[in-house]
Amino acid sequence: MPLYASLLLICVMVLTGSLISNRSEIIPERSRFVTFPAAIAEWHGRSSQLESQVENGLALEDYVLSDYSKPDGKAVNLYVAYYASQRTGESPHSPLVCIPGGGWQITRFERLDSGISPPLNRAIIERNGSKQLVYYWYEERGRSIANEYWSKWYLLSDALTKNRSDGALIRLITAISPGELERDADNRLRAFMQDLLPRLSQYLPSEVATSSPGSNVGMRKL
């Protein structure tokens, strides 16, 4: 089924490309991550940067990469990759590919998309005796999406109906220490998410962005 879904999406993308090739794309105004707060509630962050070759390979518009922790707690690594336009293959790289590429083994994976907000993907990863918990999902023009196939479908739909293709990947990671329960790591990521999500709205444009007269929304030729 995933293979057939992927082939279908490729076909739809090829057909859609011809339909939107002469359209102007809306690029919504947003705050850049250089202004993202170093302190979120009781969490204090220490920012870092991607290696230049990695950043160039990702072809992203903007990103934040930072370790947040409380004075008495363990760290949560935050990574948000933002793309103002997801055309010609410029889109977030799936953690399902990047995690094994970094030498980690995904020992458990589940999609949590029913009855929770935001829907997300949860993975346990291991390397050389170390264990980590990973959450990730996509923010696509006001939608929170866990399923990568649905993310691509909405990308094509919104490119046609809204002239927009901006979107972002949000990924959270925390270490599971020896003797610590997975539940403890889940509680840590959940607590951080509760403080994080209200801060992200000005950095990730919502579904309501338009190109109406007088708005601060840019246009780019597709």
pLDDT tens per residue, range 44-102: 999 999 998 888 888 899 999 999 999 888 999 999 999 998 876 678 888 998 999 88
Range of the domain at 66: 36-206
H-assigned helices in 81-167: 95-101, 148-161
214 domain-assigned: no
Straight-line distance from the first to the last Cα atom of the chain, in angstroms, rounded to the nearest whole number: 31
Is 128 within a domain? yes
Residue 45 lies in a domain: yes
Tell me if the pTM is above 0.95: no
* Separation CA 104–CA 127 (nearest Å): 5
Is 2 domain-assigned? no
137 located within any domain: yes
In a domain, 31, yes or no: no
Regions in the chain scoring below 50 on pLDDT: 1-3, 5-6, 210-217, 221-222
Could you tell me if residue 85 is inside a domain? yes
CB 81 within 8 A of CB 168: yes
What residue type is 27 in one-letter code? Answer: I
Query: What is residue 218's predicted lDDT score, i.e. its pLDDT?
Result: 56
Residue 32's CB: how many other CB atoms inside 10 A?
Answer: 12
Would 29 be classed as within a structural domain? no
- The whole-angstrom separation of Cα 129 and Cα 210 is 49
To 5 degrees, how large is the angle CA 76–CA 78–CA 83?
A: 170
- Structurally, the chain folds into a number of domains equal to 1
